[in-house]
Structure 1
């Protein structure tokens, strides 16, 4: 078994064995490798950073260099069982359009993101009047790739507005799961499994 970041471990635990998937913003391919090796999945990836693409290829993974904001349009409808976007939604130019593409390409979609409504983020803004730097948001505002800060409540509102079905949701505080109660305040990260009604 591969050691995975907590949100990736949640995704891996809930992907059906033998599934096909597209991991968008796959980084160095850690999740894809785990799903290929441990669950026999047909894992493909898209990654913007050429160094990470090279790491994926070195692991024998099928990855192309691409930009989620532009290149998802070239993937056919319902071409994989799962489209995965882990900790990348907030870095895209149009998160709503990327989410729409994920649900077009995959029969289901996993999305994970950092929750900017977490109490430490709120406290930093309130107490210091500055954008937070935390273990999970480790760089100052001028270096961060995050361009659309969102909270769990923001994401829930978008799903409701677009008529997207939530099949599963998990909330993480640090490296452990926490309950849905007050998740917008308590959770540092969220993981959602989504689908669209046919």
Structure 2
């Protein structure tokens, strides 16, 4: 199995024999790989080309706009819900996080870390960042809500969302020292706070 490093981390966090909903599933690569773990999965994507590609990868997929919420899914319908490198493009970030944890027991959220040193350096030089995790120019980006680790964690605390695990990566390397400065991509496993 040859997954991108970010999808490999998500793959490793998803339990075998579970039910997974992948929001913004792209071409369905993650869900196709998760079949090796006997995962029952469904994808959601707005882009018709991604929906066609997912079907081509033998993935069950629904074409829908995540901005309209997840009302078509019942409470606790899934074990895990994935939102990979999509949250920064959502208009109503807070609402989607809350709705995700209604639909699934836990969520995996990944996003480009705007605090990454290379992003800061480009800003210092007078330009919006463009990188592997932020591949768009400022004028054609779908991204509207950039955040750093502390921003996401504060949003979770505000909404009583428990952070079960966090990893910060730069390419294939996990970053432990100064993760907000040295990590380009953040990974969070989150769940409802039961207290």
TM-score, normalised by the number of residues in structure 1? 0.94
Separation in structure 2 between the aligned mates of residue 91 and residue 188 of structure 1, nearest angstrom: 17
Separation in structure 1 between the aligned mates of residue 100 and residue 4 of structure 2, nearest angstrom: 22
Separation in structure 1 between the aligned mates of residue 53 and residue 130 of structure 2, nearest angstrom: 28
Please name the residue that 1:35 is paired with. 34
Separation in structure 1 between the aligned mates of residue 148 and residue 172 of structure 2, nearest angstrom: 18
1:163 shift after superposition:
1.3
DSSP 3-state at the match of 2:6: helix
The count of corresponding residues between Structure 1 and Structure 2 is 194
DSSP 3-state at the match of 2:70: helix
1:175 shift after superposition:
2.3
1:158 aligns with 2:121: no
After the TM superposition, which of the residue ranges 131-140 and 26-35 deviates more from structure 2?
Answer: 131-140
Written as runs of structure 1 = structure 2, the 5 A alignment for 1:126-141 is: 126=124, 128-141=125-138
Please name the residue that 2:63 is paired with. 65
Separation in structure 1 between the aligned mates of residue 5 and residue 81 of structure 2, nearest angstrom: 18
Written as runs of structure 1 = structure 2, the 5 A alignment for 1:51-130 is: 51-126=49-124, 128-130=125-127
Please name the residue that 2:193 is paired with. 197
Unaligned runs of 5+ in 2: none
The one-character-per-residue Cα deviations of 1:8-28 (angstroms, maximum 9, x if unpaired) are: 111101111010010000000
1:99 shift after superposition:
0.7
1:15 aligns with 2:14: yes
Separation in structure 2 between the aligned mates of residue 66 and residue 110 of structure 1, nearest angstrom: 20
Unaligned runs of 5+ in 1: none
Separation in structure 1 between the aligned mates of residue 44 and residue 99 of structure 2, nearest angstrom: 13
CA contact (8 A) 2:20 2:78 kept: yes
Runs (4 or more) in structure 1 with deviation over 6 Å come to none
Separation in structure 2 between the aligned mates of residue 118 and residue 54 of structure 1, nearest angstrom: 34
1:197 shift after superposition:
2.6
1:74 shift after superposition:
2.2
Separation in structure 2 between the aligned mates of residue 49 and residue 171 of structure 1, nearest angstrom: 28
**Cα root mean square deviation, aligned:** 1.1
The one-character-per-residue Cα deviations of 1:151-192 (angstroms, maximum 9, x if unpaired) are: 11110111111111111111101221111x321111100110
